[in-house]
Structure 1
Amino acid sequence: MTQQRFFITGTDTDAGKTLISCALLHAARQRGLTTAAGKPVASGSHSTAEGLRNSDALALQAECQPTLAYSRINPIALSPAIAPHIAAAEAGIALSVAALAAPMRQLLDDAPADFTLIEGAGGWRVPLNKRETLADLARTLQLEVVLVVGVKLGAINHARLTLEAIERDGLKVAGWVANLVDAKTAQAAQDNRLNENLDTLRQWLPAPCLGVVPHLTCASAAAAARYLDLTPLLARSAADD
């Protein structure tokens, strides 16, 4: 089987990238695939006896099979819950595409899995330094992108602009997921406005929709995975064989 590798980005902070990433990994495991994940830089980490740990990276680690060491998944953990480049500067760490690409390439090469996700931070253009962004990391790794659309007011505009930026950077969007992050938006399904918004997203986003994840009271990878379909990603990879 061809190894399937994707970069996960979102339309904004709190679009639900980690929930959807974990759900995609969970769905892959249910299909009997081996899984791996990377979170190259993560702010908002907490102190433990083993060092700084980030809850998003830990969630990704729980969906990796076979198990990966935390340092393989999240080589740079930062304490303040602020933009990564600012948190890194406060910690005296210089972020760069080269510094993040090296461990992610090692993850891809030394721990090859059937299904691997590299998750960004925030949106597509989150800065790493004065010249580089996380988009440059995705370009360096040459990974196709899965876009997580946080469905709330303004989602259509955010989704279209993000997709245009990804394609302008020379990368393909392999698929997208609608994640209902806002409870009020989810309630709009009762008067059909939600369906109209989703239909508009499908019209303007040419990549396949991998699923619509409702607003979950108890969000978990297993719960969200029930609403996702990996078939378009797997079929896309099979077609490249």
Structure 2
Amino acid sequence: MKELFITATDTDAGKTFVSCALIYALSQQVNSLTKRQCKVAAFKPVSAGCELVKEQLINEDAKLLSEFANCGQSIQNINPIAFEEAIAPHIAAKKHNKKITITEISKYYQSVKAAAKSVDVDYILTEGAGGWRLPLGSSSQESKSDSSNYQFLSDFAIAEQHQVILIVNMKLGCLNHALLTFETIKADGLTCIGWVANCASEISMSNLNENIDELEQLLPIPKIAQFNFIADVDEQGNKISFIDKIKQVASKINLAPIVS
């Protein structure tokens, strides 16, 4: 069972869209040993920005992940820590007198992992929140000036020794953001196995191709996909659904660095 962590250069970089596309693409593979369609589980440990539905907080990103993961997971299993406010998770937690800790996240992840093993899951894909160094807050009651107890979501990926896929939000400043994020992942002792150029904005960045070429030279890992903007309506006026978009981009992903 392979364990993957999806991170990005910043927030709103398209992590959920890319994660759904990766889950779909992986689930279409055939396990070479069992000769069956691959099973993919999803995990989004922390979310902020949820809707209260029948007394349960439902995050739209987690809901989408649940629609593509093929292991019968509940949204609560996929996304155990959720806050209604669409703000930084650790600030939302503080408003509710709660703390988010790596210990808590790991406990939930072990439940996902145990269930995954029981049904012979091939991949567990964890979607991060924000960028690589998403703050979770201090794990103790110590003074704010004591940073030794401060935790980040990246600490979870480090603890679990996940392989990492980096999504680069193709916009002005992305070269710096991508290189700094990659270097930090490497310094944290993890392997970043590939990156995705996400060009999801309707208005493309200036010199997009030149920037992608530059990143292909600067990042010593393969670009596994480039996702371009897809309108909600095609040239004939037909609506393009989310699943149609996912199927369209999933077929263009180079899965070799993941499945090898």
5 Å-filtered alignment, 1:211-226, equals 211-218=225-232, 220-226=245-251
Q: Provide the C-alpha distance between the structure 2 equivalents of 1:228 and 1:4, rounded to a whole number of angstroms.
A: 17
Residue equivalent to 2:33:
none
- 1:165 positional shift: 0.8
Instruction: Find the residue that maps to 1:129 and give its secondary structure.
Output: strand
Residue equivalent to 1:206:
220
- 1:226 positional shift: 2.8
Structure 2 unaligned spans of 5+: 30-36, 139-149, 233-241
Q: Flag the structure with more relative contact order, 1 or 2, with Cα contacts below 8 A and sequence separation at least 6.
A: 1
Instruction: Find the residue that maps to 1:125 and give its secondary structure.
Output: coil
Match among 133, 140, 154 for residue 152 of structure 2: 133
Instruction: Find the residue that maps to 2:136 and give its secondary structure.
Output: coil
- 1:169 positional shift: 0.8
- 1:11 positional shift: 0.4
- 1:182 positional shift: 2.5
Match among 26, 29, 36 for residue 28 of structure 1: 26
Q: Provide the C-alpha distance between the structure 2 equivalents of 1:50 and 1:71, rounded to a whole number of angstroms.
A: 12
Higher share of residues assigned helix:
1
CA RMSD of aligned residues (A): 1.4
Residue equivalent to 1:143:
162
Instruction: Find the residue that maps to 1:12 and give its secondary structure.
Output: coil
Moved more, 105-114 or 126-135: 105-114
Cα contact 1:213–1:228 (8 A) shared by 2? no
Residue equivalent to 2:9:
11
Instruction: Find the residue that maps to 2:10 and give its secondary structure.
Output: coil
Q: Provide the C-alpha distance between the structure 2 equivalents of 1:200 and 1:181, rounded to a whole number of angstroms.
A: 19
- 1:115 positional shift: 1.7
- 1:126 positional shift: 0.9
- 1:6 positional shift: 0.5
Match among 113, 124, 129 for residue 116 of structure 1: 124
Cα contact 2:71–2:116 (8 A) shared by 1? no
Q: Provide the C-alpha distance between the structure 2 equivalents of 1:155 and 1:185, rounded to a whole number of angstroms.
A: 13
One-letter amino acid matched to 2:116: A
Q: Provide the C-alpha distance between the structure 2 equivalents of 1:139 and 1:181, rounded to a whole number of angstroms.
A: 29
1:181 pairs with 2:206:
no
Structure 1 unaligned spans of 5+: 236-241
- 1:105 positional shift: 2.1
Cα contact 2:158–2:189 (8 A) shared by 1? yes
Instruction: Find the residue that maps to 2:135 and give its secondary structure.
Output: coil
1:98 pairs with 2:103:
yes
CA displacement, residues 54-80 of structure 1 (integer Å, 9 cap, x when unaligned) = 000011111111211122101111000
Q: Provide the C-alpha distance between the structure 2 equivalents of 1:121 and 1:154, rounded to a whole number of angstroms.
A: 20
Identical aligned residues as a percent: 40
Instruction: Find the residue that maps to 1:147 and give its secondary structure.
Output: strand
Q: 1:92 to 1:224 in 2, by over 3 A?
A: farther
One-letter amino acid matched to 2:247: A
- The runs of 4+ residues in structure 1 deviating greater than 3 Å are none
- 1:120 positional shift: 0.8
Residue equivalent to 1:67:
72
- 1:50 positional shift: 4.8
Please report the TM-score for the alignment, with normalisation by the length of structure 2: 0.84
